[in-house]
Amino acid sequence: MMEVDFRNVTKKYGRTEALRELTLNLAGDKIIGILGRNGAGKSSALQIAAGHLKPSAGDVSMLGENPFNSLLVSANTILVHEGMAFPPALRLRAILAELERAYPAFDKKLAKSLLDHFGIPDHAFHIQLSKGMKNTFNMVAGIAARTPLTMFDEPLNGMDAGVRSDLLKVLLKEYIAHPRMILLSGHQLEGMEELFEEVVILHHGRLLHHGNADEFKEGFVRISGPESEVRRAASEVQVLELHETLPGMAEAIIMVRPGTTLFMNEGLGLKSTSVSLGDAYVAMTRKKGGIDRVYADATDGR
């Protein structure tokens, strides 16, 4: 069974601590979302799992090996990211041939058909592709590699909506046909959240949450209605975010204990609705007061 284990992993770049004593165990063939705001440490964690980066302290193991400079890990892992460097002298078809050599289960026919579908000619050079096309090529390579651990770091950047939804469909089909552990990182989820079975939330280099994606989402509710009623209802629970929507109206994102039911007094104009995974983790990692407070303080409430 695929297992990636981080024990007290710290990663420092000079004085910046990108990961702070991260302890995290990922196990099994699952699609796992690695979420966090800008600079949370997502890329650092994925690069360490792939063996591209060495932790400053702590232990990492994948398939029972330390990934750093491990041949076993590199043959069984692909990390797809925007900065993937392919030799500039190679055309895409030559890159596919290299990938086929590097990854025993690489499906070149699938990769070629997908590139064809997305209108990416295989005689082109990687460097000539647009940003969205580069990311599409990289993601196709990652899907077709069929490695037991497949990681995508913000894979959908720059892609148009049609390409994005096609690639997510293919990813799901491929995962069902050839199960593997897939880690997908992002701050903007752009449809990926539908695929997550588990989520990991990093915040300032620390683990904020790891668990089942649906259960995580169900731990949040949005209540909206007249501001005084929203404030009154919110005073009894843990509120992550409360803001005015229209004059006199407000909405709040609150945390609820799984399995509890929230009774809304509809006679008072209160409504409760579900919260998307993206809104839930953003609310959870937001600074107190949020941008409204920053703006009000900066402008003295003018």
Ligand X SMILES: Nc1ncnc2c1ncn2[C@@H]1O[C@H](COP(=O)(O)OP(=O)(O)OP(=O)(O)O)[C@@H](O)[C@H]1O
Nearer to ligand X, 186 or 225 (CB): 186
DSSP 236-284: TSEEEEEEESSTTEEEEEEE--TT--PPP-GGGT-EEEE--HHHHHHHH
């601590």: which residue's tokens? 17
Residue 170, Cβ neighbours under 10 Å: how many? Answer: 18
CB of 38 to ligand X, least distance (A): 3
CB of 165 to ligand X, least distance (A): 22
Q: What are residue 177's phi and psi, to 5 degrees?
A: -75, -35
CB of 151 to ligand X, least distance (A): 12
C-alpha torsion angle, residues 78, 81, 85, 89 (rounded to 10): 90
Tokens standing for residue 167: 């690639």
CB of 12 to ligand X, least distance (A): 9
CB of 93 to ligand X, least distance (A): 30
Nearer to ligand X, 42 or 164 (CB): 42
Pick from 186, 69, 195: nearest CA to 135: 186
- SS3 category, 215: helix
Burial of 297 (0-12, 13-18, 19+ CB in 10 A): exposed
Q: What is the DSSP letter of 211?
A: E
Nearer to ligand X, 181 or 202 (CB): 202
Nearer to ligand X, 42 or 217 (CB): 42
**What is the binding site for ligand X (CB under 6 A)?**
13, 16, 18, 36, 38-44, 187
Nearer to ligand X, 39 or 132 (CB): 39
CB of 11 to ligand X, least distance (A): 8
Nearer to ligand X, 44 or 224 (CB): 44
